[in-house]
């Protein structure tokens, strides 16, 4: 693996001398990607050399986002997304939810719906609201052991979501998402406009051609590495494509992903791209 990285660096940077490439590869800037028995894909990792640093709960081999304590369920290098947990809670404010799900290099994807409660303002959100059957919502409120009279829940998603959703009482398998992944993030300013007291939970919805599925208690985050493809410090691997990302802060970022049919994280400093 290390030999492959050195080789590719040498090919791509013909003017670098190979000694410095070898030193960089073997030196202190490496990104350690192991947490117990789990290995995460580049650019994630657990050492300062990783572009998107995580913490590790080694006792359960679980990667954790930043200092928020948000646990990561899964990584998808094809869509450049991760799925994290946001269990139902009646005491999580909207700013707390934003803090738990946003970071320097990741933000909530537009495939995620947020369930808000507590004195929400009625606003005309033009297709931004989503409805979910009342029975599902009352179960959710019971699960979260919410007290009080305000049982109405406002659902917010960046794209319209229909109530025909198949609501899974227990976490269902992650639904498939639409192919070419656009650089779309949840619009927090729209969420904040409702002025709700709490962010009860989130759900990830998959919109295949035939069925809309919904998984509660999780959020999907999109990630990026700093800088554009053109001016990038991070190098995509051979057979990877680089995509510029409009990040929620307005800055540009980019991500590398392998061409269709190939596996890997798409980064030269990671596992690159390979056939199974």
Ligand X SMILES: *[C@@H]1O[C@H](CO)[C@@H](O)[C@H](O)[C@H]1NC(C)=O
The full DSSP string for 101-114 is H-BTTEEEBTTEEE
Q: Check: CB of residue 217 under 8 Å from CB of residue 170.
A: no
CB of 134 to ligand X, least distance (A): 17
Site for ligand X in 246-265 (CB under 6 A): 251
CB of 66 to ligand X, least distance (A): 11
Q: How far apart are CA 7 and CA 240, in angstroms?
A: 16
Nearest to 161, CA basis, from 221, 109, 203: 203
Looking at the Cβ atoms of 59 and 126, the one nearer to ligand X is 126
Q: Check: CB of residue 34 under 8 Å from CB of residue 46.
A: yes
Looking at the Cβ atoms of 76 and 232, the one nearer to ligand X is 76
The beta strand positions in 89-184, using DSSP E, are: 106-108, 112-117, 129-130, 153-157, 166-167
Site for ligand X in 59-88 (CB under 6 A): 76, 78-79
Looking at the Cβ atoms of 93 and 239, the one nearer to ligand X is 239
What are the residue ranges of helices labelled H in 120-163? 134-143
Looking at the Cβ atoms of 14 and 59, the one nearer to ligand X is 14
Q: Check: CB of residue 229 under 8 Å from CB of residue 242.
A: yes
Q: In terms of DSSP bridges, do strands 44-45 and 38-39 run parallel, antiparallel, or are they unpaired?
A: unpaired
Using rule CB under 6 A, residue 210 touches ligand X: no
Q: Which residue is nearest to ligand X (CB)?
A: 238
**Among 45, 51, 88, 113, which residue sits at the site for ligand X (rule: CB under 6 A)?**
51
CB contact burial 44-65 (16+ within 10 A = b; e otherwise) = bbbeeebbbbbebeeeeebbbb
**Among 15, 37, 67, 124, which residue sits at the site for ligand X (rule: CB under 6 A)?**
124
Site for ligand X in 21-40 (CB under 6 A): none
> What is the number of other CB atoms lying within 10 angstroms of the CB of residue 200?
29
Looking at the Cβ atoms of 43 and 217, the one nearer to ligand X is 43
Count of residues that bind ligand X according to CB under 6 A: 17
Q: Check: CB of residue 147 under 8 Å from CB of residue 203.
A: no
Q: Provide φ and ψ at 255, rounded to 5°.
A: -145, 150
CB of 181 to ligand X, least distance (A): 8
Q: Pattern 95-114, binding to ligand X, x per CB under 6 A?
A: ---------x----------
CB of 99 to ligand X, least distance (A): 15
**Among 62, 110, 239, 241, which residue sits at the site for ligand X (rule: CB under 6 A)?**
239
Site for ligand X in 142-201 (CB under 6 A): 148-149, 160, 162, 176-177
Looking at the Cβ atoms of 26 and 148, the one nearer to ligand X is 148
Report the interface residues with ligand X, using CB under 6 A. Answer: 51, 76, 78-79, 104, 122, 124, 148-149, 160, 162, 176-177, 226, 238-239, 251
């Amino acid at each position: 693996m290390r030999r492959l990285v050195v080789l590719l660096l040498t090919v791509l940077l013909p003017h670098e001398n190979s000694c410095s490439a070898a030193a960089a590869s073997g030196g202190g800037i490496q990104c350690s990607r192991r947490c117990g028995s789990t290995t995460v894909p580049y650019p994630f990792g657990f050492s300062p050399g990783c572009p998107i640093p995580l913490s590790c709960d080694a006792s359960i081999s679980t990667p954790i986002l930043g200092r928020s304590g948000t646990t990561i369920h899964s990584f998808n290098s094809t869509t450049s997304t991760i799925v994290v947990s946001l269990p139902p809670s009646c005491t999580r404010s909207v700013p707390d939810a934003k803090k738990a799900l946003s970071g320097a290099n990741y933000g909530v994807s537009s495939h995620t719906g947020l369930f808000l409660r507590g004195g929400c303002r009625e606003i005309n959100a033009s297709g931004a609201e989503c409805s979910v059957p009342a029975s599902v919502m009352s179960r959710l409120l019971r699960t979260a052991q919410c007290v009080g009279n305000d049982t109405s829940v406002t659902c917010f998603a960046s794209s319209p979501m229909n109530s025909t959703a198949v609501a899974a009482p227990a976490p269902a398998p992650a639904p498939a998402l639409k192919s070419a992944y656009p650089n779309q993030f949840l619009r927090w300013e729209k969420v904040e406009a409702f002025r709700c007291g709490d962010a009860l939970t989130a759900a990830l919805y998959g919109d295949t051609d035939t069925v809309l599925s919904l998984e509660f208690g999780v959020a999907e985050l999109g990630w990026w590495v700093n800088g554009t493809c053109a001016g990038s410090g991070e190098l995509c691997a051979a057979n990877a494509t680089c995509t510029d990302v409009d990040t929620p802060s307005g800055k540009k970022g980019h991500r590398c992903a392998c061409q269709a049919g190939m596996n890997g994280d798409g980064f030269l400093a990671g596992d690159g791209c390979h056939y199974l």
